[in-house]
Structures are given as structure tokens and as C-alpha cells.
Amino acid sequence: MTENAFDQALLDLPDQDRRTIRPPQYDGATPPVQQALAAISSTDVMTAGINTTPVGLRLNPAVPEARAAWYSFGFLVRRAAAVRLDVAEDELELGVQPVVDFSSPFSPPSARVFISDSLENGAGYSTRLGEPADFEELLLFMLGQLTGPDAARSRAFFDPFVDSVHERECATSCHRCLREYGNMAYHPLLDWRLALDMARLALDPAARMDLTSGCWAPLMARTAGPFFQGLNLVQTSLGGLATGMNASTNEAVILIHPLWDRDPANMRPELAAAFAAAERKGLQPVAYSIFRAVRFPYEYKVE
């Protein structure tokens, strides 16, 4: 037995029963034994990553925004795969695994999603998904871009995400897009806009990643004004990026795409330009992602 398990079992009992249970007595002469338990099953696994992180982006899963992107992408892949294979989502298990490329010491950590059949010696779904041509089709399917006989199903999968009502009502994720009972632990991280961005990035390393295009533009238009007002910042634009100026701290809060790197050595040109413009005005630039702005608008503290 373990003490944790004992305590947990106690919590499951009604109060009056709990009082009748005596705590376990230990044999003080014998040292405790530390053990780990594992359930090992054998099944197929499909993994998918992004081999080369484009300049200016950060896909390191240690960063909350990037971790959110990987999980959001994974759950979207799983949902699309379940639709394509005509199986229940829980027949596919999903995980995210950090990846460090030891062959290239300066490449930053990244991650990959892995999908396995949930049944032991599963039905081979993951093996099929792992065929490069099939996976590419799956990505196109997710983005509503599949042509041929499944073109209509592909549109039917993608269109509800970008539908104007959903777009307006869902700044992060909801039960209509990425949330379901089985991924409850990840609900605060999930973001359908990031999931679609990752799918676009997986297909094309040159895919446009900014806040002025696609499904980010309307979210930015609605969010930036109230975000800056709520913090009592004066809204302006630096290097073309929405910025809030704090007269008392001399800070310039610049709203950025969740996957943009804040490291000066790997900044996108528009972010570097915004930083330079802030400094020319004697302001201290602070990059804050739209991902945080919609979830934790007051985490950026105004002193």
C-alpha cells in the first residue's frame, strides 16, 4: 500500500465511516520500499512533428503558448483522423512528446504529437495515419483544402471552425471546436486558431504566421482595444504591431502572435522593428501574446 492511496480511499468514504477507520500502523523496523508501477501495452504509434522551425517562431513545448499549440494540433489531428477513419475519438490515444535534436546542437527543443490505437494490438489505425501521403491528406482535410471525392467532407470539417458565429464567440476553445470530456485536463490550453496554424505550418514552412491574417485578424480587432483600455494603456502602433503605452512605467506592451519568439536573436523583422521603434521613443518594449491577452488580461501588471 501507499499512504497517498490510503488517504485518497478515505476521501471516498462518508464522514461517519471515515472516523471508524484506523490509520495504518507501520513496522518501524523495516524500511519502506519505493516502487513504480506501469501498465505496458503493445500497439501501433504514429508520430508527427515539424522538422524545421521557421525563423522567428518558437515551438519549444516548455513555453506555454507552444505547448498549447502542440496539444491543440494533436487534438485536432485526432478528431480529423477519427472522422476520416470513421471511428470513435477514444479509439485513438494522443500524447505530446518533447524532442531535442542532438544532431544539431543549436536547434531549439521542439515536440511531436503521437497517436496510438487505444486497444492493445490495435486495428492499425495509427499505422495507416502514419503513411506520409495519408497524413498529408489528413492535414489538407483538417484545413478544408482536400480535393477529390472527399472535398465536401473536408469543407464540412473545417467550415464550422471559421464560421462567423463560432469565430466571434470562441476566443480560445469550446465544446463546439476542440473541447470534449476526454481532454478536460487540457481545456485551458486548447486553442483552435493555434491548431489550424500548426496544421498550416506542418504543410508549408513558409505559411503566414501573424495576427493580421486569417482567423487572428478579427480576434485582434475585438481584443486589442479593450485589452489596452482595461490596463489603462494608450493604444498605438509600433512597427505595424498593436501596442499599448504605459505613461507611468514607460513600457510599450506589444501584442504578438503566440508562436513568435521573443528572443532578440530570433525575432521576426516586424517584432524587431516594433522593439526598435519603442526604444527610439524611450519606452521599454514588452512582448505579450494574444494567447495570454485573452486568457489572463490582467497578468501583465501595471505598476
With contacts defined by CB under 5 A, name the span among 55-63, 137-145, 173-181, 197-205 that binds Zn ion: 173-181
Shortest Å distance, C-beta 104 to Zn ion? 37
Q: According to the 3-state scheme, what is the secondary structure of the chain?
A: CCHHHHHHHHHCCCHHHHHHCCCCCCCCCCCCCCCCCCCCCCCCEEEEECCCCCCCECCCCCCHHHHHHHHHHHHHHHHHHHHHHCCCHHHEEEEEEEECCCCCCCCCCEEEEEEEECCCCCCCHHHHHCCHHHHHHHHHHHCCCCCCCCHHHHHHHHHHHHCHHHHHHCCCCCCCCCCCHHHHHHCCCCCHHHHHHHHHHHHCCCCCCCCCCCCHHHHHHHHHHHHHHHCCCEEEEECCEEEEEECCCCEEEEEECCCECCCHHHCCHHHHHHHHHHHHCCCEEEEEEHHHHHHCCCCCCCC
x/- string (CB under 5 A) for Zn ion, residues 175-214?
-xx-------------------------------------
In the bound state with Zn ion, the residue whose beta carbon lies nearer, of 57 and 219, is 219
Which of 81, 140, 170, 287 binds Zn ion (CB under 5 A)? It is: 170
Q: Is 174 in the site for Zn ion (CB under 5 A)?
A: yes
Shortest Å distance, C-beta 196 to Zn ion? 12
Shortest Å distance, C-beta 191 to Zn ion? 9
Shortest Å distance, C-beta 294 to Zn ion? 12
Shortest Å distance, C-beta 299 to Zn ion? 22
Number of residues in contact with Zn ion under rule CB under 5 A: 4
With contacts defined by CB under 5 A, name the span among 4-12, 69-77, 89-97, 171-179 that binds Zn ion: 171-179
With contacts defined by CB under 5 A, name the span among 79-87, 120-128, 163-171, 249-257 that binds Zn ion: 163-171
Q: Which residues in this chain contact Zn ion in the complex, by CB under 5 A?
A: 170, 174, 176-177
